[in-house]
Amino acid sequence: MGSLDQQPAGSATRMEAGSAMSHHVVIVGAGFAGLSLAQSLGSTPLRVTVIDRRSYHLFQPLLYQVATAVLSPGEIAQPIRRILGRHKNITVLLGEVDHINPERKEVYINGEALTYDTLVLATGATHGFGHSEWARFAPGLKTLEDARRIRAQILMAFEKAEMERDPSERERLMTFAIIGGGPTEVEMAGAIAELARQALARDFHYIDPTKARILLIEAAPRILGPFPEDLSAYAEQELKRLGVTLLTGKPVEDVNERGVGVGGEFIPCSTVVWAAEVAASPAGQWLQVGSDRAGRVAVAPGLSVPGLDSVYVLGDLALALGEDGKPLPGLAQVAHQQGRYLGKALPARILRNETPPPFRFHNRGNLAVVGRNSAVVHWDSFKLQGFIAWLVWGIAHVYLLVGFHNRFLVTMRWLWTYLTFQRGSRLITEDVIRTQATDAERGGPEAAGAPDPSQTSNLRKTADQPT
């Protein structure tokens, strides 16, 4: 079996054993956690290798805007090599992890062995299904492929409705169901409503897109459960103003090619988006340690895996407890802070033989946009809603985007959309249509019902620039 071990490019001589540069840190996954860690270690004498099955970092919080034709994929993704290229101690490998041997300290990528001194897994999560047979009819929203598939499905529904003469079938085609009541689902429902009632309103002759029916289905009594009740009530009111129908307190009982079953009623619809559950990648199996129902691996206060030497788990993959003893939520800010924490803790432990303090999560607040000029913000006892909250949401998301180029593009795209009410990415590409047809024949998307092995899957598409 081959080996991928190598010194970083630019090294004039091989480092002597025992030197700082001989300590090899391998990071699997370049999502928020993995990328934050790698950037922090870029200024250290440690040798770092970043592995991802995709070539680019993806800003997942804005995926729904790709799915609803607000943004194009390249505006929320950035090649990993471009982000980390200035750090000479970091090597980036494009590949997929097959398995891990913790005893020999080896990671296997496409059948090749890579040895490590410290291993960090930050492979993220994908959508999970209690019923795997539903996956083919209800795509999740975790990757660029998911977003492009959903965008094509939504736009194709209106195109098919334009040619459909059966009123009941036309109504089914123009009915969209989003399952889940969290921020992503609320944002998705509001974006589809605005797409139909604003951007598409004048583009068809035989159908009226403003009559499209958008359903937001949540098993809990209310949407936005982590938010205070008054902010949740405001979001419900704003969604209803946009024409979204809320079905709360009603779990989904069935999903098939004709629609969804909810609360003993079957609702015909053409497009179902599943975002109610997530499942972590199979790192627990790789490490041969236990995991919870969602596939998360329990970690110590310092984010290490108990019982394993120099193995750490971050982000959505980690079952980390907050100061209140409850599991930390799968949020970008949690992953980002964990990456920054470990970026300081590892050099302290490895280079200075210091014991760093345990990780502490500092909540920067929860945000959710409902629609144009409408959002909610909650931070401790501080609450905002309406236009000011909408501005805060926009500024926060632009700030968190990687790279000035992406920040500028997204800001300009939002400004253009705000002034014209139009969407600039309303493309239905043949490759997506062919993929959908193939998925239908095979019984669902390749990743449906199974965790994506890398958040890393946070990087998507071509070798350099997403399409």
pLDDT tens string 61-99:
999 999 999 998 889 999 999 999 999 999 999 999 988
For 197-252, the DSSP string reads: IIISTTS-SS--GGG-EEEEEESSSSSSTTS-HHHHHHHHHHHHHTTEEEEES--E
Instruction: Quote the pLDDT of residue 439.
Output: 53
Residue 336 has pLDDT above 70, yes or no: yes
- Lowest-pLDDT range of 178-182, 253-257, 428-432: 428-432
Q: How confident is the model at residue 452 (pLDDT cuts 50, 70, 90)?
A: very low
Where b means 16+ CB within 10 Å and e means fewer, 310-336 reads bbbbbbbbbbbbeeeeeebebbbbbbb
Per-residue pLDDT tens for 228-279? Answer: 999 999 999 999 999 999 999 988 999 999 999 998 899 999 999 987 666 6
Given its phi and psi angles, is residue 362 left (phi above 0), alpha (psi -120 to 50 degrees) or beta? beta
pLDDT at 430: 60
Give whole-number Cα distances, 411 to 45, 110, 418, in Å: 37, 39, 10
Specify if 180 maps to a domain.
Answer: no
In a domain, 82, yes or no: yes
**Residue 220 falls inside a structural domain:** no
Helix (H) or strand (E) holding 125: strand 125-127
Q: What is the mean pLDDT of residues 386-397?
A: 94
From 333-337, 385-389, 460-464, the region with the lowest mean pLDDT: 460-464
Residues 442 and 76: their CA atoms lie apart, in Å, by 30
Over residues 185-196, mean pLDDT: 95
Total tally of structural domains belonging to the chain: 1
Whole-number pLDDT of residue 15: 34
Q: Residue 437: enclosing H or E segment and its boundaries?
A: helix 430-442
pLDDT at 147 over 80: yes
DSSP state of 13: S
User: Is 187 tagged catalytic?
Assistant: yes
Element (H, E) at 29: none
Enter the tokens of residue 93. 């490998």
Residue of higher predicted confidence among 466 and 393: 393
In this model, does residue 7 exceed pLDDT 70? Answer: no
Could you give the C-alpha distances from 126 to 317, 359, 372, 380, in angstroms and in order? 10, 25, 28, 29
Residue 167 lies in a domain: no
Is the pLDDT score of 353 beyond 80?
yes
pTM over 0.85: no
Range of the domain at 296: 20-127+278-351
Contact between residue 330 and residue 125 where contact means Cβ atoms under 8 Å apart = yes
Q: Which of 106, 185, 187, 218 is catalytic?
A: 187
In a domain, 185, yes or no: no
Q: Is residue 246 part of a domain?
A: no
Residue % of the chain over a pLDDT of 90: 63
CATH number of the domain that residue 286 is part of: 3.50.50.60
Sheet of 112-115: strand order equals 97-101, 106-109, 112-115
Cα–Cα distance measured from residue 241 to residue 83, given in angstroms and rounded to the nearest whole number: 41
Quickly state the pLDDT bin for 150 (edges 50, 70, 90). very high
Q: How far is CA 320 from CA 60, 106, 301, 323, 338, in A?
A: 21, 25, 7, 10, 10
Token pair, residue 44, equals 């250290």
In a domain, 161, yes or no: no
Domain membership flag for residue 144: no
